[in-house]
Amino acid sequence: MKRFDAIITGAGQAGPSLAGRLTAAGKTVALIERKHVGGTCVNTGCMPTKAMVASAYAAHLARRGADYGVVTGEVCIDFHKVMARKDKVRFDARKGNEDWLAGMKGLTFIRGHARFESPTEIRVGEERLSAGQIFLNVGGRAVVPDFPGVGDVPHLDNVSMMELTEVPKHLIVVGGSYIGLEFAQMFRRFGSDVTVVEKGPRLIAREDEDVSAAVRDILEREGIAIRTGAECIRFFKSGDGVGVGVDCTAGTPEILGSHILLATGRRPNTDDLGLDKAGVATDKRGYVTVDERLETSVPGIFAMGDCNGRGAFTHTAYNDFEIVAANLLDNEPRKVSDRIQTYALYIDPPLGRAGMSETEARKSGRKLLIGTRPMSRVGRAKEKGETLGFMKVIADAQTKEILGASILGTGGDEAVQSILDVMYAGRPYTTITHAVHIHPTVSELIPTVFGDMQPVD
Ligand SMILES: Cc1cc2nc3c(=O)[nH]c(=O)nc-3n(C[C@H](O)[C@H](O)[C@H](O)COP(=O)(O)OP(=O)(O)OC[C@H]3O[C@@H](n4cnc5c(N)ncnc54)[C@H](O)[C@@H]3O)c2cc1C
Ligand SMILES: NC(=O)c1ccc[n+]([C@@H]2O[C@H](COP(=O)([O-])OP(=O)(O)OC[C@H]3O[C@@H](n4cnc5c(N)ncnc54)[C@H](O)[C@@H]3O)[C@@H](O)[C@H]2O)c1
C-alpha cells in the first residue's frame, strides 16, 4: 500500500491545478488518469471543437469574400489540414499539461483506472493507494439513448468525431443543443448536408424562445435542415448509409444520411468508480452529491467538475478547484452557490450568456425591466458585415440588480463578460449606463440596451 496526503482521480480541468496547489503546500499527491491528461476539454471537447469552428468560420468568410470586395474564387476544404490543425492545438495543450505535471515536485502520476476500495483507499490495477483526502475529477461521457435500432447502425460521438478522415456527405445530428449545434454548423461549412433532429419542440430548450428561434434562423439560412418535435427517433441501415426515423408530426417521415452524430447529453463517469465501497452518495443520474464546499457525503472525499452535476463547463470545473483550494488551503470560505451561471454556445455568431434567462427571471416573481436590440442596429456588427442575432438584458425593476443577459451576435461571447463582472461586483445596472465603452465595439451598445429597458408584466 502506498500512502499519500491526497489522491486525485482524473486529470481534467480541476485535478491538475489542485495537484499544483497541494504539492506547493508540501503535500504528497497521487494523480490518477486512465486516458489523456487534460480530459474532455483539451482532447475531445472545447479545444478541438473551437479549433474546428475557427476553420469553419474561415471557410464561411472566404465564401462571403465578394460581400467585402475580396475575390476568392471557389472555396475548397482540405479536411486533412483542418483535422491536422485541430490535432496540433489539442496535442500541444495536452503536452503542455503533461510537462507541467512531470515537473511538479511531490506528485506521483499514475496511469490507469481508479476504483475505491474503502473511503481512504483506491486501487489502480494491482496497485493500492491510501490517503486522508481523496478528490474526484472524473468528468463525463456521451449518453447513448436506448433508441430503437441504435445497435444496428454506426454512430459518432464527440470522441469519434475527432477521428473523422473525410467530410460526411450527409451528417444527421441527433440532439439540438450545445454539442449538436456546434458540430452541425461547422460540418455544413465544411460542405456536408446536415440535418438536426431534436425531440423537443425547439432547439436549445434551456434558452428563451426568442433565442432558440434566432439560432434556428441562423442555421437554416446556411442550409441546415432542422426537425424538431421528433418524438419517434429510430435508426436503420439504408444501402451504404444510415436512416433516422423521425415521423410522427410533420415533414418527411425518414431521413437518409451517411453518418449519425449522437449529441443527446452527457453522463458522469461514476458508474465504475466503486463509490459504494466508499459510501459516497450520488443522485439518481449518478452525479456525486456535494455540499457548498464540494465535499461529498463522506468527509474527506470531494468531487469537482462535471461529475458533481453542479456545472457542465470547463470554467465551472476550474472554479470547483478554486473553491476546494480556497477552503482547504487558504482558509477562505468560498462556496459553489456564489457562482453566477455563464457560458457561450460557439455557433457563429456565438451566444454569450450570463445569469438568468428571461424565462428564469419571470419565474422568480420579481418586477422586471428588459431591454433588447437587434445586432442589425449595432455599428460594429454592420461594419463587420455580421448583423445576425440580438442582445437582451434583464434587471430587477425595484433593486436595479442585473439579473441576466443573452448576447447572440458577433463578439457576444466576449461582450457578455462586461455584464458578468458588474454582476459579480454586486453593482446596479446604472453602473453600466454611466460607463463609457470603446467605439466601435459590440460592448459600447450594452449601456444603451440597459438604458432603453422597459417594464414587463
Ligand atoms: C464537444 C464538446 C465541446 C465542449 N465545449 C466546451 C466549451 O466550449 N466550453 C466549456 O466551458 N465547456 C465545453 N465542454 C464541456 C467541457 O469539456 C467539460 O465541462 C469539462 O471538460 C469538464 O471537466 P472535468 O474536469 O469535470 O472532466 P473531464 O475534462 O472530462 O476530465 C475527467 C478526466 O477523468 C478521467 N477519468 C474518469 N474516470 C476515471 C477513473 N476511474 N480513473 C482515472 N481517471 C478517470 C478521464 O479520462 C478524464 O481525463 C465541451 C464538451 C464537449 C463534449
Ligand atoms: N460551448 C460550450 O460551452 C459547450 C459546448 C458543447 C458542450 N458543452 C457542455 O456539454 C454538455 C452536453 O451537451 P449536449 O449538447 O450533448 O447535451 P444537452 O444536455 O445540452 O442537450 C441534449 C439535447 O439532446 C436532446 N435529447 C436528449 N435525449 C434525447 C433523446 N432520447 N432523443 C432525442 N433527443 C434527445 C435534448 O432535448 C437536448 O436538446 C452541455 O450541457 C454543456 O455543458 C458546452
Length of the chain: 457
pLDDT digits (tens, 9 = 90+) for 33-54: 999 999 999 999 999 999 999 9
User: ipTM more than 0.85?
Assistant: yes
Mutate to test the pocket of ligand 2, among 13, 156, 173, 178 (most ligand atoms within 8 A of CB): 178
Q: Is 148 contained in some domain?
A: no
- The residues facing 370 across adjacent strands are 394, 454
Quick one: which ligand is closest to 272's CA?
1
- The reply to whether 6 and 137 lie within a common domain is yes
| 22-29 long-range contacts, CB within 8 A, separation 24+ | 22/106, 22/329, 23/104, 23/105, 23/106, 23/107, 25/329, 26/106, 27/106, 28/3, 28/4, 28/106, 28/108, 29/4, 29/5, 29/106, 29/107, 29/108
Rg (CA), the chain: 24
pTM (predicted TM-score): 0.97
Residue position matching grid coordinates 440532439: 175
Answer whether 393's CB lies under 8 Å from 453's CB. Answer: yes
For residues 13 and 123, state if they share a domain: yes
Say whether 247 counts as a known binding-site residue: no
Q: Note whether 283 and 412 are same-domain residues.
A: no
Distance separating alpha carbons of residues 182 and 170, to the nearest angstrom: 16
Whose alpha carbon is nearest atom 26 of ligand 1? 305
Does residue 155 form part of some domain? no
Closest CA to 378 of 429, 433, 415: 415
Domain total of the chain: 3
Please give the C-alpha separations between residue 157 and each of 16, 148, 246, in angstroms, as whole numbers.
26, 18, 20
What average pLDDT does the structure give for the chain? Answer: 97
Ligand 2 pocket residues where CB is under 6 Å: 145, 174-180, 182, 198-200, 205, 233, 263-266, 312-313, 343-346
| Residue 145: per-residue pLDDT | 94
Q: What is the pLDDT of residue 457?
A: 81
Burial class (CB in 10 A: 0-12, 13-18, 19+), 48: buried
Tell whether the model's pLDDT for residue 252 goes beyond 70.
Answer: no
Does 306 carry a binding-site annotation?
Answer: yes
CB of 34 sitting under 6 A from ligand 1: yes
Q: According to the annotation, is 198 in a ligand binding site?
A: yes
Task: Write out the H or E segment, with its range, that includes residue 195.
Answer: strand 193-197
pLDDT of 401 > 60? The answer is yes
pLDDT at 282: 98
Using the predicted structure, report yes or no on whether residue 368 has a pLDDT greater than 90: yes
pLDDT digits (tens, 9 = 90+) for 72-122: 899 999 999 999 999 999 999 999 999 999 999 999 999 999 999 999 999
- At 185, list the grid cell: 454548423
What one-character DSSP code corresponds to residue 288?
A: B
Does residue 439 have an active-site annotation? yes
C-alpha span between 140 and 296 (Å, rounded): 17
Rounded Cα gap, residues 388 and 194, in angstroms: 21
User: How many A from CA of 183 to the centre of ligand 2?
Assistant: 12
The residue range of the domain holding 352 is 342-452
Question: Is 116 among the domain residues?
Answer: yes
50 labeled part of a ligand binding site: yes
Is residue 98 domain-shared with residue 239, that is, in the same domain? Answer: no
- Residue range 264-292: mean pLDDT, rounded: 98
User: How far apart are alpha carbons 272 and 289 in whole angstroms?
Assistant: 16
Residues 2-29: tens digit of each pLDDT:
999 999 999 999 999 999 999 999 999 9
pLDDT tops 70 at residue 340:
yes
- Select from 230, 264, 298 the last residue of a domain: 264
Q: What is the DSSP string of 370-420?
A: EEEEEGGG-HHHHHHT----EEEEEEETTT-BEEEEEEESTTHHHHHHHHH
C-alpha cell at 425: 461586483
Which pLDDT does position 246 carry in this prediction?
86
Tell whether 18 and 137 lie within a shared domain.
Answer: yes
- Ligand nearest to C-alpha 268: 1
Report the percentage of the chain scoring pLDDT > 90: 96
Would you say the CB of residue 339 lies under 6 angstroms from ligand 1? no
- Do 274 and 243 belong to one domain? no
Average pLDDT over residues 125-152: 96
Same domain, yes or no, for 135 and 200? no
Distance, in Å, from the CA atom of 373 to the CA atom of 371, rounded to the nearest integer, reads 7
Q: Is residue 52 in a domain? A: yes
